[in-house]
Amino acid sequence: MNGEEHLISMLVNNKPGVLSRVAGVFGRLGYNIESLCVAATTDPEISKITLVSKSNSDSTERTKKQLEKLVDVVEVTELSQIQSVQRELILIGIKLHQEHRAEIARAVDIFGCKIISMKSDYYILEVVDNKEKIETVLNYFAPLGIEEIARTGVIALEKEQ
């Protein structure tokens, strides 16, 4: 789907089936969810859903209105990079080749990666940052032997409430 990425944050009742109904709205409207993170808030009865979808602004407004109609949705907010702090966690499994060892060590330091697991020929790195920095790290390490990745998806909080 063409369009810009839109980050939507929702507060929903923490009940079975709510996530399915939220995802159903995107499916019915023909939009893919690019990134999704769901967890309870400080109130165990309420969960926060943070998702990224690509669409134009008009479509995002229509999607938000459809989401607001769902019974268990408490609040729907679109967040911009300016008005929010956004982070993503990624684990990177990287095959170590002797000729890249020094370069990987420098990159770990430069990018602020944490080495979570280390064997003689395989590292698991952790990176926590915004999406742009995550992409930069992935692009840097790709030619050095990335074996696998696991990403959390974007999480975000408004800077002011």
Task: Look up the pTM and report it.
Answer: 0.85
pLDDT of 1 strictly over 60: no
Distances (CA, A) of 111 to 30, 67, 95, 135, 148: 37, 38, 18, 11, 18
CA atoms within 13 A on the CB side of 105: 6
Per-residue pLDDT of 69-124, as tens digits, reads 999 999 999 999 899 999 999 999 999 888 888 999 999 999 999 999 999 899 99
Structural domain including 150 reads 85-154
Confidence of residue 56 (pLDDT cuts 50, 70, 90): confident
Q: Which residues pair with 84 in a beta bridge?
A: 158
CATH of the domain at 143: 3.30.70.1150
Residues 72 and 90 occupy one common structural domain: no
> How many domains does the chain contain in total?
2
Per DSSP, the three-state class of 114 is strand
